[in-house]
Structure 1
Amino acid sequence: MAQSIFITSAEGHSGKSTVALGVLDALSHATPKVGVFRAIARSTAERDYVLEMLLDHDGVDLDYDECIGVTYDDVRADPEAALATIVERYKAVEAQCDAVVIVGSDYTDVGSPAELGYNGRIAANLGAPVLLVLSGRAGEGEQLGTAIARTPDEMGQIASLALAELQHSRAGVLAVVANRADSDRLTEVVTAIQSVVDAASRAVRVSPGQPVSVWALPEDRFLVAPSVRGVLRSVDGRLVKGDADLLTREVLGVVVAGMSMVNVLPRLTESAVVVIPADRTEVVLAALLAHASGTFPSLAGIVLNGPFPLPDDIDRLIDGLGSTLPIIATDLGTYETAVRIMSTRGRLAADSQRRYDTALSLFEQHVDTDVLITALGLARSSVVTPLMFEYGLIERARANRKTIVLPEGDDDRVLRAAATVLSRGIADLVILGEEIEVRSRALELGIDIKAAQVLSPFDAVHVDKFAREYEQLRAHKGMTYQRAADTITDVSYFGTLMVHLGLADGMVSGAAHTTAHTIRPAFEIIKTKPGVSVVSSVFLMALADRVLVYGDCAVIPDPSSTQLADIAISSAATASQFGIAPRVAMLSYSTGESGSGEDVEKVRAATALVRERAPELLVEGPIQYDAAADVAVAAAKMPDSAVAGRATVFVFPDLNTGNNTYKAVQRSAGAVAIGPVLQGLNKPINDLSRGALVEDIVNTIAITAIQAQGEQA
């Protein structure tokens, strides 16, 4: 039977989805198979965006339709029959999972005081303890973050009423989360609720002796702000100009431009949507120019209201400006447009990166997930899934934060990854690029990189300092100051020199540059560790239940036996650094003494060198892949080997074999390939694939930070 938790609230718009996402993420890091179940949805005709967001999480592998219990219509028609259906459909999900996050109803459509009681009955019948979410905000002013904060005493009163209702429904309570609480009074809010919980704990707690935990999450305006896409939907609009990718940006204000241009400009505010009558074309142009200038606030979008098409000349003029700012057209009047925008609510969705990152960050900062998992009775699994491994990387990186330089500040993927890294506290960052351009693009994308340092590779002070250092390092090659000054403005050289001089602990690049462009400066400046003859690479291959190390798959085309030995020893050290016990397989087309030939002899000689240079290592070679990975094959071919059938580090005889094998395993076995991770350098420099996804960049930054921790030790 799966461990489950039922997340419900005492009223609508409590931000329950933020808590559900945080709980789901925490459970995904503790156990391999996590499910999601939506007890009551608004309808089957309209997709439930909260359920879609949770199902989009990497740790969940379920279909949408199987994760819904009933609709509001079903509950109204026959509450008892609906409850029976919920139990039946939940059991089908539970059978597939180790843990299930159950999300209660949303107090929409037909919300009533009895709704919490019905949620409590569902939880009791499913045998799931309740995590109660209380809203720290009151009133109807939810839109654009204007709701009034509740006092600690008010939060205590709401907790008292909600706990009594759950007690009446025979539901056990595991924890209480005060969401959207006053950030200046979090401790007071927790204390007020805890006193109420303690008084009622005998009646509502899940089991005797197990305390009911109380946590508080502060209000964050970006979590409740609507997106530009939400505004577009609210006004029944259509995107007529601008970049559709920028529709995810949050809207923090509304400016109704029913006045002349000179009076509109001083009223513009950061991340606002400007509502402009479609026939006031001079105001449209002024708003676009103000947004592009960098001297006025950065806008989230423009809404043109009224049934007036843009004149052809104005249309061409806007195209000529090359603005990416979304322009939405609606046939509504000014008043109706403004009212609808002000009534638009924010939605936590997977495609809104800033909101998603912020929600996870708030939950991680303010909820003790270890206490939560222990209270659920969920033992941490010995199996390591890709998601669990990635989370382990993040945890290790932020335990001792390092500074990583990202040279490619003009790449949107890098900026998005930077926003995630900063919000999750994984590392401190330096982004190379012109500050006005980098920060303006981040604002357009609706992401937060304020905590990053943005540094121009043409900064005069740094150019002079770096040029002198590079001139000295390459003096034996006849380097002059002028040539050095020209060379080091290349972002790869500039970033590498930052690492060399201690201004950053590591560098991650390659999203927009070749591997050679990224690592050539490292060969010249950082150089190899003592006793290591070559720089090589590994991929951390996260399979369904374990993590393996593959090397070299990216750098050395045809290594000699000496180089193969270096690769093996470096790969074993990398494995140890990431918590993988190294058992090294020196791969060949032959196992043991069964074959001969130049290629086999190279591997045999390399294996002997590894045993000589690192006698403490468990190493076997030459050995075929199946004998290294499969226990049954190993028992037949090398029954007495401590490595055969149990290898964790696979050293390939050449780049052709290694690169093809890692890609074959990645595609055929559904493995997550993290890397390439460069090894052998004095300081960590890591290369990205030019097809890297945002999550690949985040993982590589975490890996680089962990490598930097090892260098410091």
Structure 2
Amino acid sequence: MSRTIMLIPIGTGVGVTSVSLGMVRAMERQGVAVNFFKPIAQPRPGDHGTERSTTTLRNSSNIQPPEPFAMKYAEGLISSGHTSELLENIVERFREGTKDNDVIIVEGLVPTDKHQFANSVNYSIAKALGAEMVFVTHPSNDSSQQLKERMEIAVSSFGGKQNKSIAGCIINKVGAPIDENDSAGFDLSEMFDIPEGSVNNNLEVLQMFSKSPLPILGCIPWSADLIAPRVKDLAAHLEADILNEGDLENRRLHSVTFCARSIPNMVQHFKPGSMLVTSGDRSDVIIATCLAVMNGMKIGCLLLTGDYTPEEEVWKLCRSAMASGLPVLLIKSNTWQTAQRLQNFNMEIPVDDLERIEKVQEYIASHIDKHWLNTLTEDSSLSRRLSPPAFRYHLTELARKANQRIVLPEGEEPRTIQAAVICAERGIAKPVLLGNPAEIRRVAAQQGIVITDEVEIVNPTDVIEQYVAPMVELRKGKGLTEVVAREQLQDTVVLGTMMLAENEVAGLVSGAVHTTANTIRPALQLIKTAPGASLVSSIFFMLLPDQVLVYGDCAINPDPTADQLADIAIQSADSAIAFGIDPKVAMISYSTGNSGAGSDVEKVREATKIAQERRPDLLIDGPLQYDAAVMENVAKSKAPDSKVAGQATVFIFPDLNTGNTTYKAVQRSANLISIGPMLQGMRKPVNDLSRGALVDDIVYTVALTAIQATQANEKAALAKG
């Protein structure tokens, strides 16, 4: 039986769209089929095209919400006394558009001066759809007591406390800066400067509502990171000319500095992510900005006012800074006029800003009450699927439970530092950065990253000596001497591997700047393969829009034999099981079944036979062409009797050339996230990164490694016991 949750905003500016996005993500994490419905479109001033919430979810997920009714159409029916007709049409569209879903999130109208009928219409829609009502509000300037009273008054308009369809409330933007007019519509220039004492304490709010019959289902702290706009959005708002594009598309702004003073009095305000605003004829500011950029400071952008184009001589001095990605914008208005225009900048999420949408969804989903979410999905009849959000959530939850210490040998690399901080903040692992502490902190400061005490920093020069003797002992069969061991330990990957060999850390993640060989070779020499493993292989988790697939081996074995290919299939199937994926293993070839011949096909056919004999408990079939493995209609034609064809979740490629090419083609062509390579068959987990890895790639690889470490420990304990 499906569940319908209607989010009803109490007042303006509560962020109901963001809460809707977060609720959809929370449901995706639960692995149920979720959909969204905004019954009546409510465009904001300046909006063009389709309804914002609906469009945002269509652009950022695999969800296809029903189309909302136009506000003019709804107003026409309401004003002519035909509200019942409107409700009938809404119910019809709702049922047709969401009939295959388990949970549907419905977003209500925001009560405004123009739409004073919002509350009565919201209540009517909730009753018509049989929805459970969740009120969404924000504290504004209210005390916790005033907020509680305001919510209880609002509830009275929806049947009062005795209405069993009222599930509770979500309090958003707790601690947001509020101006003197009690408005959360602060402008960009002040959004990161929160006056002391302006923050509503989450705990205080929760304690006050503990005395209320209205449960709090989410208490979401305000976060400046969630409203950081792209430079391109601000450039469009200001109608700026682009003097240097740089990283205009992706760079984000976290603060604004108006450079009207002398250089010595301004440089302290040059910060990562800052938009520096100055008159275009201030050559001193322009050059100082470029010097900061050349010294590693990731300035958000440089905005030149007054329609003054920098002199050619100055521009030549700044070429290196321009080449590093600094966006430079030029506008006609003066600095004062620019400050006025910034106050009108729309801080809402653009429908095409997928990175920010993802961040908002994850953040808000993590602040929704888990117990309540479980009650929404406890019905055993609900279908379950491991969607990408569910998989990522599953990873982080398992990693938190594992609570493992993971070493990152590339400790001075910016992405690695940021990933370590995220892992520590989210409790994914206890990260250990190897590198010079001063350099690590310098790089972090340039990126605007604060390294907390939860991130451990180990200086290699302080600890190398203690690993010389153990390393010599491990490699004594190869004639390793202390001199050579000491020299090899200068490589932080080798040092980190020795920390793993000595059980001081549970796993290792490297590869952001090192090659696969640099990462794996020390592990093979010092860690060795797991008991019973004949080889080391790898898999990638491919996060398709509606499911997660496993690809192996795409990183390690160039041309495995049939026996090795069988082992790779078994290792990959076991890894899939360990991470919550039901393994249906397809042995990929250019031929399906007995339709083709040749040594390559015979190798896959033989590998399939060996794997089936070794693990009769697994569903393994091959040879299968890729389309026969993944498409049901092709499978019915080419392999009608196969229990794998058309529904494969694990794909085993015949060689490295095929596997690596396929995974990259699928990843890049479909713009998918892939996590890996995750190594299989090691005695202790060591995982490699792509040198083009994003911060999130590193974070999830750390999570994988932490989980692998726990699984390895459990296997070792079983073997002993």
* Displacement of 1:434: 6.4
1:218 matched to 2:221: yes
Q: Which residue of 2 aligns with 1:401?
A: 403
**Residue type at the aligned position of 1:186:** N
| Alignment partners' CA distance in 2, 1:665 and 1:24 | 26
Q: Give the 5 Å matches for 1:399-548.
A: 399-407=401-409, 421=423, 424-431=426-433, 453=455, 459-465=460-466, 469-481=470-482, 483-490=484-491, 492-510=493-511, 513-540=514-541
Instruction: Give the AA of the match of 1:508.
Output: V
Q: Say whether the 8 Å CA contact 1:584–1:618 is kept in structure 2.
A: no
Q: How has the CA–CA distance of structure 1 residues 695 and 478 changed in structure 2, closer, same or farther, with 3 Å as cutoff?
A: same
Other-structure match for 1:55: 58
**Farther-moved stretch of structure 1 (328-337 vs 243-252):** 243-252
Q: Could you tell me how far apart the structure 2 residues matched to 1:177 and 1:213 are?
A: 6
Q: Does 1:369 align with 2:370?
A: yes
Which residue in 2 is equivalent to 1:308? 308
Distance 2:302 2:600 in 1: 69
Counterpart Cα distance in 2 of 1:643 and 1:409: 43
- Say which is worse superposed, 75-84 or 37-46, in terms of deviation: 75-84
Is 1:361–1:424's contact at 8 Å kept on the other side of the alignment? no
In structure 1, C-alpha distance between the alignment counterparts of 2:276 and 2:612, rounded to whole Å: 67
Q: Does 1:36 align with 2:36?
A: yes
Q: Deviations over 1:383-429 (max 9, x none)?
A: 43444334322321222232334455687766776676555443343
- 2:247 and 2:326 in contact (8 A); partners too: no
Report the Cα offset of residue 283 of structure 1: 2.7
Q: Which residue of 1 aligns with 2:170?
A: 177
In structure 2, the residue matched to 1:3 is 3
Q: Please state how far the C-alpha of 1:151 moved relative to its aligned partner.
A: 1.4
Query: C-alpha displacement at 1:464, in angstroms?
Result: 4.3
User: What CA distance in whole angstroms lies between the structure 2 residues aligned with 1:432 and 1:243?
Assistant: 32
C-alpha change, 1:332 and 1:105, in structure 2 (3 Å) is farther
1:466 and 1:250, CA in 2 relative to 1: closer, same or farther beyond 3 A? farther
> Could you tell me which residue of structure 2 aligns to residue 384 of structure 1?
386
- Candidates 199, 205, 208, aligned match of 1:192: 208
Partner of 2:247: 244
Q: Is the 8 A contact 1:235 1:332 kept in 2?
A: no
Determine helix, strand or coil for the equivalent of 2:264: helix
Alpha-carbon distance between aligned partners in 2 of 1:672 and 1:290, rounded to the nearest angstrom:
33
Aligned to 1:19: 19
Q: TM-score, normalised by structure 2?
A: 0.76
How do 1:582-621 and structure 2 match up within 5 A? 618=617
Match of 1:262? 264
Q: Which amino acid aligns with 1:181?
A: V
> Gapped runs of 5+ residues in structure 1?
139-149, 199-211
Output the CA distance in 2 between the equivalents of 1:503 and 1:48: 54
Q: Distance in 2 between matches of 1:25 and 1:598?
A: 43
Deviation at 1:180, TM superposition (A): 2.2
Kindly state the Cα deviation for residue 14 of structure 1 after the two structures are TM-superposed: 1.7
Q: Which moved more, 1:509-518 or 1:276-285?
A: 509-518
Aligned residue number for residue 187 of structure 2: none
Residues 535, 680 of structure 1: 8 Å contact kept? yes
SS class of match (1:507)? strand
Distance 1:652 1:51, change over 3 A: closer
Equivalent residue for 1:146? none
| Cα contact 1:249–1:300 (8 A) shared by 2 | yes
User: Aligned with 2:159: secondary structure?
Assistant: helix
Residues in 2 aligned to 1:671 and 1:240: alpha-carbon distance in whole angstroms: 33
Label 1:452 to 1:491 Cα distance change in 2 as closer, same or farther (>3 A): farther
Structure 2: which 5+ runs fail to align?
A: 176-198, 715-721
- Counterpart CA distance in 2 for 1:237 and 1:395 is 44
Question: What is the aligned partner in structure 1 of residue 339 from structure 2?
Answer: 338
Taking only aligned residues, the RMSD between alpha carbons, in angstroms, comes to: 4.9
- Following superposition, the deviation at residue 58 of structure 1 comes to 3.4
1:151 aligns with 143
State the partner residue of 2:180.
Answer: none
What is the Cα deviation at residue 708 of structure 1? Answer: 1.1
1:104 counterpart residue number: 108
Structure 2 match to 1:165 = 157
Q: Is the 8 A contact 2:444 2:451 kept in 1?
A: yes
* Offset of residue 191 of structure 1: 4.0
Moved more, 326-335 or 21-30: 326-335
Identity %: 32
